[in-house]
């Protein structure tokens, strides 16, 4: 398990005067963030941002005065740098700060997001991107703490441990090249979805399948099998840009029959050097490589020349080793 822990603390002193013109110092809240398994984002993949909400009170109308939560307010942006921890976008130590016009006693919940890389021409208002972990504050007048997980309602409402899957090596768009396709389905007794208990994801996330060539001496080579939101329908690019002349299946997967810019022609996926992954990817996704948020993984496909096309192979849930966790502590 990759376990990295970072802490960021902001402490500012504000100076004001009371009614007798005495100088009064008010210390800004101190904010500390610790995270585990939060991956470093590659160039072009964006950055992270921390957001919070504050409770506000409706005006009394003769009865109880209900509370409601306003929109998310940014506390700051950051990157994760291997060996250095949390850094701001300029590479310095990151700091988080609550806006002066917000009441720290009314902190409600917190989210950690992946923000896509913006172009200089993009002048739209910055809003929360893909929420990866979130939590609700608890505490007292002096301190508030929030545990950040994927299980919180503003994230995925799940820890993904119930996800299971199988895959089948077959190439429906070119049956004579049956070793060059990977599909996430169970062929017997009748074709059925091979991925079980998939969550309905927020629109800012998608699943993605991968064929990983483990034989490359310079490191693994990753070939996408397509992005998808459902297990029982084709993924977003159908049978893929390298498919053969036939029709694909109504399940996530891909055939690698024709070479494309991102994949070779007719790789032997049953040759003993490939494994297969299901990952979580932010949407939009600026990277051709998988995120480090791996949910399912296979063992490298064994060399089995006599294995039938109608036999599926298991995948294993590895989410507990990759899903991030965190904690935000605010000393008020």
Exposure letters 213-238 (e unless 16+ CB within 10 A, then b): beeeeeeebbbbbbbbbebeebbeeb
Residue 114 has pLDDT above 70, yes or no: yes
Bridge partners of residue 317, in order along the sequence? 296
The structure's pTM equals 0.86
Bridge partners of residue 111, in order along the sequence? 51, 134
Residue 56 has pLDDT above 90, yes or no: no
How far is Cα 105 from Cα 83, in angstroms, rounded to an integer?
Answer: 35
To the nearest whole percent, how much of the chain has pLDDT over 70? 83
Q: Which pLDDT does position 57 carry in this prediction? A: 74
How far is Cα 208 from Cα 278, in angstroms, rounded to an integer?
Answer: 6
Whether the link from the prior residue into 189 is cis, omega within 30° of 0, is yes
**Per-domain boundaries in the chain:** 13-157+323-331, 164-321
β-sheet with 138-139: strand ranges across = 30-36, 325-331, 143-148, 138-139
Residue 208: name the closest of 236, 180, 186 by CA.
236
The residue with greater pLDDT, 271 or 178, is: 178
Q: What are the CB-based long-range contacts (under 8 Å, 24+) for 57-64?
A: none
- Model confidence over 264-317: pLDDT tens digits? 999 999 888 999 999 999 998 878 889 889 999 998 766 555 555 568 999 999
Residue 327 has pLDDT above 50, yes or no: yes
């Amino acid at each position: 398990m990759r376990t990295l822990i970072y802490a960021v603390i902001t402490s500012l002193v504000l100076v004001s005067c009371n009614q007798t013109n005495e100088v009064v110092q008010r210390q800004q809240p101190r904010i500390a963030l610790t995270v585990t398994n939060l991956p470093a984002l590659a160039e072009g993949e964006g950055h992270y941002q921390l957001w919070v909400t504050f409770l506000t009170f409706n005006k009394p109308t003769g009865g109880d005065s209900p509370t409601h939560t306003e929109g998310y307010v940014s506390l700051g942006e950051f990157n994760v740098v291997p060996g250095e921890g949390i850094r701001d976008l300029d590479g310095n130590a990151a700091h988080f700060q609550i806006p002066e016009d917000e009441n720290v006693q009314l902190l409600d919940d917190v989210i950690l997001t992946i923000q896509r890389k913006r172009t200089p021409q993009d002048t739209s208002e910055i809003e929360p991107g893909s929420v990866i972990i979130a939590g609700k504050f608890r505490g007292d007048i002096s301190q508030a703490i929030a545990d950040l997980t994927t299980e919180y309602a503003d994230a995925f409402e799940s820890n993904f441990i119930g996800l299971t899957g199988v895959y089948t090596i077959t190439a429906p768009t070119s049956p004579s090249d049956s070793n060059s396709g990977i599909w996430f389905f169970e062929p017997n007794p009748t074709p059925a979805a091979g991925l079980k208990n998939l969550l309905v994801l927020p629109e800012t996330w998608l699943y993605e399948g991968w064929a990983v060539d483990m034989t490359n001496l310079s490191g693994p080579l990753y070939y996408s099998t397509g992005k998808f939101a459902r297990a029982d329908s084709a993924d977003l690019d159908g049978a893929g840009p390298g498919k053969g002349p036939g029709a694909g299946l109504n399940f996530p997967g891909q055939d690698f029959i024709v070479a494309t810019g991102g994949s070779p022609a007719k790789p032997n996926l049953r040759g003993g050097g490939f494994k297969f992954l299901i990952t979580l990817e932010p949407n939009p996704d600026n990277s051709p490589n998988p995120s480090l948020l791996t949910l399912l993984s296979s063992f490298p496909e064994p060399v089995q020349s006599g294995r039938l096309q109608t036999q599926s192979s298991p995948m294993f849930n590895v989410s507990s080793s990759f899903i991030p966790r965190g904690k935000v502590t605010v000393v008020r």
